[in-house]
Amino acid sequence: MTAEQRRNLHAFRGYVRKILDPTYILSYMTPWFRDDVVQHIQAEKNNKGPMEAASLFLQILLELQEEGWFRGFLDALHQAGYSGLYEAIESWDFQKIEKLEEYRLLLKRLQPEFKTTINPEDILPEISGCLINQECEEIIQISSNKGLMAGAEKMVECLLRSDKENWPKTLKLALEKEESKFSELWMVEKGAENIQMKDLEDDEMKTLDVQIVYKEEPENQNLSQNSYPSSGVPPTYSPLKPRNYQLELALPAQKGKNTIICAPTGCGKTFVSLLICEHHLKKFPQGRKGKVVFFAVQLPVYEQQKSVFSKHFERLGYKVAGISGATADNVSVEQIIENNDIIILTPQILVNSFKNGTVPSLSIFTLMIFDECHNTHKHHPYNMIMFNYLDQKLGGSSDSLPQVIGLTASVGVGDAKNTAEATEYICKLCASLDTSVVTTVRDNLEELEEVVYKPQKFFRKVESRTTDKFKCIISQLMAETEALAKSIFEELGTVTLENLSQIQNRNFGTQKYEQWIIAVQKACMVFQMPDKDEESRICKALFLYTSHLRKYNDALIINEDARVKDALNYLKNFFRNVRAAGFDAIEQDLTQRFEEKLLELEDISMDPSNENPKLEDLSFVLQEEYHLNPETRTILFAKTRALVDALKNWIEEHPRLSFLKPGVLTGRGRTNQTMGMTLPAQKCALDAFRTNRDSKILIATSVADEGIDIAQCNLVILYEYVGNVIKMIQTRGRGRARGSKCFLLTSNADVIEKEEINICKEKMMNDSISSLQSWNEAVFKEKILQIQSHEKLIRDNQGKVKPVLDKKNKKLLCRKCKTFACYTADIRVVEECHFTVVKDAFRERFVTKLHPRPQNFGSFEKKAKIFCARKDCLHDWGIHVRYKAFEIPVIKIESFVVEDVATGAQTLYAKWKDFNFEKIPFDAAEMYNHAQDLNLQGMDGLE
């Protein structure tokens, strides 16, 4: 591609943005776009629409340096059906597309009439040639699922992006063929000028009357928001004036005291930390410099704070940088810290740097700020950092220590039952952070209450289904599956399914039942018999039975809080995946049993009498609140990702709620059932909810209750969602607007009782803080020192007891089928934390499949996944990577059972660090001897 072509594409990008939906051509551009980039663009479309997705696509496209991408882009347009855009870019002549602008303007103005008068299914066959194939399919699907009006709206959206020069006339002919009254308004021959502008302006004003932009004063300090004007040009930075209560919160820290700042969500604690940092950096005399580190646990919070600190401090001449787990492999932590004044970190980065010696001491910093500092306990990375600090303090080091600031909405009280115990709990937190001051707003409470509105809280006890036919059928299937598992043990006559676990009185569809399944699976993994083939058969059978029981249990949990339809879809997806895998005799039997009930289950899912009363109550609350205030902004908290997805589908398909256009926000971690949201997807979801007034509700798991700065909401709904007092304060704090409300919806009286206990604990916490604030500071410091000395003594004694290294050779067996995998003597440790196997024979014991998300991390190039080679097992053993010059497997200990060669005793380990065997470092010279055999010869086994 020439520089001129690149310049032209940049110059004409405005036309491309209006027409192109990049998700339709991404499948043709896989040679140039990585999977994570594709996912980012898809998320941008889902959350902000095709135009923003096209902007992102073009930005990434214009940065490509690989050969052939421009031709590849043109070919992708042609293959996807963008003939007009292809022709315009090929010739750099956009006159035909420019002439369509007046018709786009006309259609936009007539959109309300189009939606209410046009049946999209009637005219789609006539105009399909003007649209992309995927667009036609989407119009049909939306019309079927959400109704004809929604389908017509989608059709308008697609026509507005059409690049076919004949679409206005084709639409006119289609309307006339159907004798639609709308054809009288669609005056193609005369153009858009003939529409009387006065009437249209009146219509627009009527629409705008109900689209009030709701903005409370506290949002003026919502520092992370991208409040650019429509031109896209960032405004000139103007420093914000601190409020009196913010100055009050900052004062002890500005005096140099180690401080915990405890103030409600939405009051601007980030802004307070900016005041503290700026004061701290400016106090140093010429020739000396301060160095600040700000810690954020969650990646979205890290990204948010890095942006805020950069905007504020770079204008003042300070250097700001950040490192997170997502970027640590590509940068030098040592150089980033050395070359910048303010460093934003996820705390594990610093913990790792202590271990590898990159950061020898905390003395390189002059100020440390811990966001959500209530996490400083047990083995949390915050506590690991503070152990280092306290060892330095109590060890008599002469090196200076940084000032410590903690930020939180709630310090919590743990398991305290009275104010004395709560005070002790808070003192321990203060000792962990070496703080002797807990700062709250006291002198400027009136001003704080004007800014942060404590929402009204309502408890709604709702009823569950009186009869649950879905649960009856699934429970029957579970009972049958349990009976099949029990029959395995009846063959043995020595052990029963019941005595494999201590958990009794388990009920289907509960967390307790899932705990029982996990306990049984663990017991089966170390179950032994003299006949190893029989042992393998029995363990594999029990693994399959319990895995199916777990899925049934999951479905019952979904059914309890969502629709039968959502629970059934969950099971149908599971059995679809089962069929696509090994599908042995046991799986065929279990699948047949399910499919025999499928028709009855389908009927139940479509029967209105089986609607969930909880959802009916949730619908009532939402409709009532949006009737009272159409500009209501809602965060709906749910406890699992599966429930978040189910609620989103329910709202989108509900005829009276679909206008809410829900977004979702879930965590990044992977569970047994689902992959988490990627960081770009999380950012897109948050940005969309902040900036898109059409998206009126965000459905979230616990990831949204802590730290993430979300646009002001006036309605928070906790749907069967409750935690400790910290979680209660944070979730409630999401409702920041004046007159905001917080609803707890539950069918469980215990949940309401727990929330009422949390309210009592909040009062207990506030009373304890007030008590501590009245203490003499010297007395407080002495109390803190006593706790620190006691905790260090315990820590030191625990550190002296080192586990005995087990040098005996052990076997690793597949955890699912008990097939022999390798000996520990053949395992080598790569870069201290990755484990490979060097014996040639090991490659015969696994098969590989291309990794769905290949990527590089550090010195590793992830290429494939590896599985047990037994066709009736295929248990996930780990990944296959390129490491420097070698192709090697990397195994995970949780996929194996460890067997003592001498005694036959079997043990399970969740992490490599728990398995204290003799770990031999990876040696390149040794590997060269095996390289020829270990290489997968172009990955012949990949599927």
Maximum alpha-carbon separation in the chain: 93
| CA neighbor of 50 nearest in space, from 161, 162, 206, 195 | 161
Residue 430 marked in a binding site: no
| CA neighbor of 656 nearest in space, from 691, 689, 612, 615 | 615
**Residues 6+ positions from 33 with CB-CB distance below 8 Å:** 26, 41, 60
Partners of 932 in beta bridges: none
Strands 876-883 and 860-868, sheet pairing: antiparallel
| CA neighbor of 708 nearest in space, from 741, 683, 674 | 683
Question: DSSP assignment of 479-539, as one string?
Answer: HHHHHHHHHHHHHHSS--SGGG----S--TTSHHHHHHHHHHHHHHHT---SSHHHHHHHH
Residue 817 marked in a binding site: yes
Neighbouring C-beta atoms of residue 634, cutoff 10 Å? 24
User: End-to-end alpha-carbon separation of the chain, Å?
Assistant: 34
Helix/strand/coil for 671:
coil
Phi-psi region of 739 (alpha: psi -120 to 50; beta: other; left: phi over 0): left
| CA neighbor of 199 nearest in space, from 308, 109, 321, 77 | 109
What single-letter DSSP state applies at residue 803?
Answer: P
Residue 228 token pair: 């650019």
Partners of 637 in beta bridges: 700, 718
What single-letter DSSP state applies at residue 925?
Answer: H
Residue 262 marked in a binding site: no
**Residues 6+ positions from 774 with CB-CB distance below 8 Å:** none
6, amino acid identity: R
Could you tell me the CA-to-CA distances from 393 to 361, 797, 860 in Å, in that order? Answer: 12, 18, 39
Separation of alpha carbons 118 and 296, rounded Å:
52
Strands 834-837 and 827-830, sheet pairing: antiparallel
Residue 868 marked in a binding site: yes
Could you tell me the CA-to-CA distances from 26 to 12, 30, 54, 119, 568 in Å, in that order? Answer: 20, 7, 11, 31, 32
Separation of alpha carbons 435 and 369, rounded Å:
12
Residue 309 token pair: 């600190």
What single-letter DSSP state applies at residue 804?
Answer: P
Could you tell me the CA-to-CA distances from 188 to 109, 167, 233, 418, 451 in Å, in that order? Answer: 14, 10, 36, 77, 54
Partners of 846 in beta bridges: 868
Phi and psi at residue 377, to the nearest 5°: -160, 160
The burial class, CB within 10 Å (0-12 / 13-18 / 19+), for 431 is buried
| Binding site residue list for Zn(2+) | 814, 817, 868, 873
> Can you say which residues are annotated as belonging to the binding site?
814, 817, 868, 873
